[in-house]
Structure 1
């Protein structure tokens, strides 16, 4: 689940109790673009993180990092494969 990187909010503490991994996205902010809009919106004031749950295991509650460009490379490769 892609969420704002803000560990000070109440929902983060609740999520952290059950999440397997918190993956902090490094190297820039991910801009959210509403459906039907072609241009980027620069209104995202915070970084982003992924909350990852795995079923049927005891949550490890690990914190890792991933580079934004790496995620974009994966996404672009997926788009090329389906085009």
Structure 2
């Protein structure tokens, strides 16, 4: 269902370089944990399409942009 992912102990594992893991709910809800960026994102949603695959790609792009911004702010301190 999600290319490059595995599922373990109720978490989706994308096998990215940051060691992130995710939980996905209905209607676009998403929990993203990125240990390398020291980042947790909780996306609450009531998207009309119940399948989270509909918003998956856009969510991942947003989470990557947030992680990059967080890293940049830490470097500026």
TM-score normalized with structure 2 length = 0.31
More relative contact order in 1 or in 2 (CA 8 Å, sep 6+)?
1
Greater share of helix: 2
Computing the radius of gyration from Cα coordinates, the structure with the larger value is 1
TM-score normalized with structure 1 length = 0.30
